[in-house]
Amino acid sequence: ACPRGCTPSLRASLVLPHTILGGCWRYGLWFRLRKVILWLLGVYIAIPFLVKLCPAIQAKLVFLNFVRVPYFIDLKRPQDQGLNHTCNYYLQPEEDVTIGVWHTVPAALWKNARGKDQPWFEEALGSTHPVILYLHGNAGTRGGDHRVELYKVLSSLGYHVVTFDYRGWGDSIGSPSERGMTYDALHVFDWIKARSGDNPVYIWGHSLGTGVATNLVRRLCERETPPDALILESPFTNIREEARSHPFSVIYRYFPGFDWFFLDPITTSGIKFANDENVKYISCSLLILHAEDDPVVPFHLGKKLYNIAATSRSFRDYKVQFVPFHTDLGYRHKYIYRSPELPRILREFLGKSEHEHHH
């Protein structure tokens, strides 16, 4: 502030340093901001080249097997997750590969299951209850919260639930690959069939697990040992279309050469998960469940897969059903298990599958 009675020249000399200081501060802020913007732009441009040069990066982003959520869970103790009627096994599909398996018995066997060992659980698969082999999606483990909640629902509906971590996930040993994941699923399916007698065996895949599920069921149909039904929850058509639609790809979707930079490395890594091709070779009942507000696998991909399957000659003698869940329900990518309609949907669909199986 200028003292009272000061001359204009003195006033100007007092104001000028403030103006200069303000201008310097603004210039410094703009300079720092410009540096940050240029750095971010450099990273943005560098990432596609990095992915192209190292396809293994893209493979890791597809599998996300290094993400363990919840982290501090002991997979040897399913009871810590409230699964008191579940046994933890380890199976060996190939040399140097070990996979961790959980087997949850139906609600009717809960009391008997308490304190029992692995031979009792294996023998229980031969009891008169259907079996669901559950194939989980990427990231996390067989102990993931939404997965555990689904096991509880299915168990309460009278199903055995057998689930496992693919090689490279959870406490399973080995390196992840599409071929390896499919082989692990085949091994567990054969292990179940060797113990389940005439009980129906259904295969349920979720998200990336739908890719494993259709790979497996196509192989089973080709060797003429199909499952009694296939359930796909939040499925996609193939991994390229899913990667193009994934939230992670939003910032690069209009980047020149997006397919060449981001999608070709996935194919180069031997990852296809071609559900749209596989369904043309599958001959068993098919149920697709998809939430309209799914932010990870867009609803339209599940609908597109259904349309391919529904017109395929391989399903000519089998039921193909698509069940959408309205956006207002908020089931998104992994909460369909919360639907009060799910027991009825499964009862009506699998009841018909069992009828086809026995007749």
The answer to whether residue 355 is catalytic is: no
Q: Is 9 in the active site?
A: no
**Could you say which of 155, 172, 207, 285 is catalytic?**
207
Displacement of CA 172 from its chain's centroid (Å)? 17
Chain position carrying tokens 């991994």:
239
Tokens 């395929």, located at residue: 312
- Residue 206 · residue 334 · CB < 8 Å: yes
Question: Any residues with CB less than 8 A from the CB of 280 and at least 6 apart, and which?
Answer: 308, 312, 313, 314
Instruction: State the catalytic residue, choosing from 294, 312, 353, 357.
Output: 294
Active-site annotation holder among 85, 206, 246, 333: 333
d(CA 204, CA 309) in angstroms, rounded, equals 16
DSSP symbols for 16-57? HHHHHHHHHHHHHHHHHHHHHHHHHHHHHHHHHHHHHH-HHH
Rounded CA-CA distance 33/136 in Å is 44
Phi, psi for 209 (deg, rounded to 5): -65, -20
Q: State how far the Cα of 177 lies from the Cα of 303, in Å rounded to an integer.
A: 27
* Residue 37 near residue 29, CB atoms below 8 Å: no
Catalytic annotation on 357? Answer: no
Closest listed residue to residue 152, CA positions, set 72, 75, 78: 78
> Which bin fits 343, alpha (ψ -120 to 50), beta or left (φ > 0)?
alpha
Cβ atoms 248, 224 nearer than 8 A: no
Active site residues: 207, 294, 333
